Amino acid sequence: MGEVWKARDTRLDRIVAIKQLKSVHTARFEQEARTIAALNHPHICQIYDVGPDYLVLEYVEGKPPVGPLSPSEVTSLGLQIASALETAHGKGILHRDVKPGNILMTGNAAKLLDFGLAKLTADGDATHTIGVSGTPLYMSPEQAEGKALDARSDIFSLGAVLYELLSGHRAFDSLAAVLRDEPKPLASPLADIVRRCLAKRPADRFQTMANLKVALERASVTPAEERPSIAVLPFANLSSDKEQEYFSDGLAEEIINALAQVPCLKVTARTSAFSFKGKDAKVAQIAHELGVEHILEGSVRKSGNRIRVTAQLIKACDGFHLWSERYDRELSDIFAVQDEVSGAITTALKTRLSGASEARKEYTPNVAAYEAYLKGKHYLFKRAGENMKRSREGYEEAIKLDPQWALPYAGLATWYHIAASSEMDPREAVARGRENAGKALELEPSIPLANAWLGIFDIVYDYNWDEGRRRFELAMARRPIDPNMRHLYGYFYLRHVGRAQEAVEQHRMALEEDPLNLILRAGLAITLREAGRNEEAAAEARKVLEFDPDFFPVFSLQAFDFTREPLEEALALAGKGRAISPWSAPNIGVLAGLLVRAGDHLRALEMLKKLEGGELSEACSAFTIYHLLCGDMDEAVDWAEKAIRRKEQMVTMVLLPKPWGAMLRRSARWPQLARMMNLPETVR
């Protein structure tokens, strides 16, 4: 393709790479180069400019990966490159020359280079080539034969790269072997994934990069029976002031976060571990329900500026204490205590750290800001009335005390999203949410939660699906992926863009780490419905109510199944959902519509008066649901248009998915609604 030179862009004062091409390119090449330049992904080398016989590229300091590497390292690299290719394929661009030489490693991060052989597809699905171009030993069979190509060709090439990095040698030694032979079997936990990538027939491979990513994420790089597992229970607050509970909870949560960074250690997420708080459950029972071998429990006593932390690590099968320790410290040493506790547990479990990447260095806030931040998180989980006020005060106090710490800003972005549907004017809430998420990213550019909330604001309020996708790709790029991040990705993005099955998989993976998190399980029920798996969705919703009979989000989900007989069952579910979530306007619409179906028009009108007062921010969405249930499609579409113009949260969260979205699509006016929501063509 030509020579590459290192240079300085004097206009923008930056180092760049200039690729000198062997010949003057065509107008078609320039069009393709500019399309590739529009790709914005953390693992794609950026094209800055294109000239008659050169390209100006992002300068990347690094080396190509060389095998053999550990399965965990290959999994991480494979996920990064698959994510980059997924973005390119979404724009109709194939790479066509995926090989180790076109990947540069900068620390633990990979950059995919040289889309110079890529061809812009005419229809976003397949492209035809004249002749054969690429690197022979990494070509797919169809590429070697000069046939039509699609995304599955890049999947084959990536499989060849993964094979080489795992084994230390190439999968194929000749072009004839690419067409005819199977590579030698791999002795690796990733062997099945690589074998499927390298299937000769495209139909036998993973069909999309998204499918391959899911498989890599689910792959266990350590046999289950050798992988230590632990749940950290909420630490008991032994302080005389019961309001100090936020501190003991926060300490346990920080230890969970520290242990989650340890490779090959399975750590139960916060929500599931904390579900046993205040319950008289034995260690063996807790371990059984969470699927772990070890339990860490402890206590915190805080008095003035001193704390005493006790912690003990228990082997669940026999109740033996593997390790215990007491820490008497000044409060200023709290971060050292957290590090000591997590380090001691790691040693006690004899976690194998070979091949582990260097842990990220986290910002250390001052202690007063840390306390205030813990208050903000603690009260946000309670989500009701005075607790929302105290949560906001906690986050704002943390920012005041340490304005250079990113996490409180990200926490406030979460707070404003919740407040947009209950506490304040949605437009003001979203503006402030964006402001805080942006500030968090200024301080810590890769913080996943801030990127996720910016993506959610883009999707929910601006219907900007491309920018939402880009933000979620950034949020999902950092490992390990938090279970709640998988939920946000599946719930707010994947299920709306025709990728409901991927949303289901993201929720299932999240529940593997956080099995008692009811928000995740409700999300699984919702995405199962969107994938057309209604019976499974109903079963998951019932599981949620078995855990918590008052968990309001699933009542409307079950009441949506208004074809059930008798109708009284749906009415009972909708009524209870309304009673325990009076701030939810869509629940009013569901209940009022079902009352009309049951012939109780007077009570339905009484319910609707609560919407007409203008106190509930999602009233237009609620009226849309009401008229859909009453069978008045024109009125429903009129209200849906109003909801879209007002940018109500519930448009994307409730009206767009099934069952309401499926009903609205029956209207002749649906194309107009789809354009107003800027929906991708594939799901209009």
Q: Are residues 578 and 596 in contact, defined by beta-carbon separation less than 8 angstroms?
A: no
Q: Which amino acid is at 274?
A: F
DSSP single-letter state for residue 332: G
Other beta carbons less than 10 A from residue 587's beta carbon: 27
DSSP single-letter state for residue 52: S
Catalytic hit among 9, 53, 97, 638: 97
DSSP single-letter state for residue 449: H
328 vs 143: CA distance, rounded Å: 66
Best CA proximity match to 640, nearest among 611, 660, 658 = 660
208 vs 46: CA distance, rounded Å: 23
Q: Which amino acid is at 120?
A: L
Query: What is the per-residue burial (b if ≥16 Cβ within 10 Å, else e) of 466-475?
Result: eebbbbbbbb
Query: What is the per-residue burial (b if ≥16 Cβ within 10 Å, else e) of 623-651?
Result: bbbbbbbbeebeebbbbbbebbeebbbbb
- The values of phi and psi at residue 335, to 5°, are -70, -35
Nearest-10 crossing angle of helices 633-645, 619-630: 170
Pairing of strands 103-106, 47-50: unpaired
Helix (H, G, I), strand (E, B) or coil at 616: coil
The DSSP bridge partners found for residue 324 are 312
662 vs 255: CA distance, rounded Å: 45
Instruction: State yes or no: is 97 an active-site residue.
Output: yes
163 vs 186: CA distance, rounded Å: 8
Query: What is the per-residue burial (b if ≥16 Cβ within 10 Å, else e) of 418-437?
Result: ebbbbbeebeebbebbbebb
HSE on the CB side for 606, CA within 13 Å?
5
Q: Are residues 230 and 268 in contact, defined by beta-carbon separation less than 8 angstroms?
A: yes
What are the strands, taking DSSP E only, across 136-289?
Answer: 229-232, 236-237, 266-267
213 vs 216: CA distance, rounded Å: 5
Contacts 24+ apart (CB under 8 A), 608-614: 611/585
Token pair recorded at residue 533? 């798996």
Q: Are residues 629 and 562 in contact, defined by beta-carbon separation less than 8 angstroms?
A: yes
By CB atoms closer than 10 A (0-12, 13-18, 19+), residue 241 is exposed
Report the sign of the C-alpha dihedral through residues 388, 394, 400, 403, in that order: negative
Cite the active site residues. 97
